[in-house]
Structure 1
Amino acid sequence: MRFRAPAFVLAALLAVTTLTACGGSTWEDDCAANSAGYIECAADKRPPAPALSGELLDGGRYDLSQDRGQVVVINFWGSWCAPCRAEIDDLEATYEATKGQGVRFIGINIRDDRDRAKAFQDGRVSYPSVLDPSSKLALDFDIPPNTIPATIVLDRQGRIAVVIRSAVQQAEFEPVVARLAAEAS
């Protein structure tokens, strides 16, 4: 018995193939998902991170350029996000375990007011967060975190090395961060 695909399936495949061929290479074409579902880019395929700066929850300003030469973990979160609540202890534990290796963490709070964001984070994490109620900072990335929680890990050259579009768990996340911290500059 021979299988015959319906015409609409063939047309859809042709359209996807054509759009992919015309669209050029994307960052995901140069990167691959690991066993935990994290999208990792080989060192020679990593795109540069955009400029990132904003007002910290506790006052003052943050600018990504101040952390050049460090591995930077950027976590997009909201107090209203159940998976964000689930991952917060794993993020803090990974931060504590890797901060001595030249790793910095910065949270980016979206769609919360300052009081709600501070109340959520107070006593749970020791790294700073930027307030971004409009989600503009996420949109500045060529690799936008289109769901939250989302975590982006930058290498020491300020390039996007890992993108995670789900809650992290320390057992899978910490080894990835430690491996990036061990890379030569």
Structure 2
Amino acid sequence: MRARRWTAGLLATVAAVALAGCTSKSQEKTCATTPEGVIECAPDQRSAPPKIAGELLTGGNYDVSQARGQVVVLNFWGSWCAPCRAEADDLEATYQATKGSGVTFLGINVQDSKDKALAFEEGRVTYPSIFDPPSRLALALDIPPNTIPATVVLDREGRIAVVIRAAVRQEGLQPIVERIAAEQSGAR
């Protein structure tokens, strides 16, 4: 019995140390978190662009590095996710309202089957989505989304500017996207 407790304690300590090691390299600690839980990184606090590339749900491949010079809004979603369904119209409305300002959107479908993901998107959004059932792309981010849905805004240099770990509404997302778009275009 005593050996089991010691082993359990040792395993808990190892797990805590491993988790601390995983989060210590995160950019999150150098960025500000708003009372609403939105993580915002100042331009001088943003790390190198993440590598986000993969197969699109509709076929072909997409590499976010091809969108350098544009603000890119990444939305992590799944067809099984009720908050994802609730935010889809707001994401599409924000996309339509900002795409003329050098903003593009990219969905990243996780933990899903391709058929369900395609059915979910049909008639809801007009921007593309990468099919990433094992959620590997989230691991490429210095500030991981950690939730589904989650929205990440990349600046024009491809760096993480904002992470929202909750469902979004147009009235909250659009001003953020517009601010990031203006910030970078004004710096040029």
TM-score (norm 2): 0.83
Give the Cα–Cα distance (whole angstroms) in 2 for the partners of residues 28 and 65 of structure 1.
22
Q: Secondary structure at the match of 2:124?
A: coil
Counterpart in the other structure of 2:62: 62
Runs ≥4 in structure 1, deviation > 4 angstroms? 23-26
Give the Cα–Cα distance (whole angstroms) in 2 for the partners of residues 49 and 84 of structure 1.
25
Give the Cα–Cα distance (whole angstroms) in 1 for the partners of residues 131 and 64 of structure 2.
14
Quickly say closer, same or farther: Cα 1:90–1:164, change in 2 above 3 A. same
Q: CA deviation at 1:73?
A: 0.4
Which 5+ residue runs of structure 1 have no aligned equivalent? Answer: 1-19
In percent, how many aligned pairs have the same letter?
65
Counterpart in the other structure of 2:5: none
Deviations 1:66-113 (A, max 9, x none): 101100000000000111111111100100000000001000000111
Count residues with an aligned counterpart: 166
Q: Secondary structure at the match of 1:127?
A: coil
Give the Cα–Cα distance (whole angstroms) in 2 for the partners of residues 35 and 171 of structure 1.
17
Which 5+ residue runs of structure 2 have no aligned equivalent? Answer: 1-19
Counterpart in the other structure of 2:86: 86
Residues 27 and 143 of structure 2 are in contact (CA less than 8 Å); yes or no, is this contact kept in structure 1? yes
Residues 36 and 172 of structure 1 are in contact (CA less than 8 Å); yes or no, is this contact kept in structure 2? no
Give the Cα–Cα distance (whole angstroms) in 1 for the partners of residues 95 and 167 of structure 2.
15
Alignment of 1:150-169 (within 5 A): 150-169=150-169
**Quick check: which one's helix share is greater?**
2
Counterpart in the other structure of 2:99: 99
Residues 31 and 41 of structure 1 are in contact (CA less than 8 Å); yes or no, is this contact kept in structure 2? yes
Residues 50 and 141 of structure 1 are in contact (CA less than 8 Å); yes or no, is this contact kept in structure 2? yes
Q: Secondary structure at the match of 1:49?
A: coil
Quickly say closer, same or farther: Cα 1:182–1:117, change in 2 above 3 A. same
